[in-house]
Amino acid sequence: MPLIDFRDLEGEERYKLEVLSRNKNYLYASISWLLEHDVINQKDLENIENLKTYRNYLAHEMSNIVFNGEISNFMDNFLCAYELINKIENWWIVNFEMTLNPEFNDICIDDIDVENIQSGKKIMIDIALLVLNGNDELLERFKFMNNKV
């Protein structure tokens, strides 16, 4: 049985009360909820803060990055964000989406390899990483598919 019965969070008012009321900033309201429900931990919170600082660096130093090619720690931060996204996505799939889908009623969550769930978002990021790392075949296949549409 999942930790939370999300059917109880249906409806905008309940969502506002349970999650958004925690902080006027939606990001921090959501983080608070995720921490309380052990979806993320203190180390994840530190990583989120570091990523926020890095995002601000990218936004405020855009001209230096574009014109001088001065970008640092991009891949480390990208991979950190990727891991956080996977962690939250996988938790959400197991504890929300599966609880609402009757096809999963007879499945024991303990039998699921949560670390290896392949969400749509994860697959797209994996493809982007392969292309960024020089997999031209995937890039060409993607271009070909987009030209057919």
Instruction: Assess whether pLDDT exceeds 50 at residue 1.
Output: no
Helical ranges in 19-118 per DSSP H? 26-36, 42-60, 62-68, 74-92, 98-100
Instruction: Assess whether pLDDT exceeds 80 at residue 135.
Output: no
Of residues 15 and 88, the one with the higher pLDDT is 88
Q: Which segment, 1-10, 47-56, 121-130, is predicted with the most confidence on average?
A: 47-56
Average pLDDT of the chain, as a whole number: 83
Tell me how far apart the alpha carbons of residues 70 and 112 are, in angstroms, rounded to a whole number: 43
40: left (phi over 0), alpha (psi -120 to 50) or beta: beta
Instruction: Assess whether pLDDT exceeds 50 at residue 2.
Output: no
**Single pTM value for the model:** 0.74
Q: For the segment 51-67, what is each residue's pLDDT rounded down to a tens digit?
A: 999 999 999 988 888 88
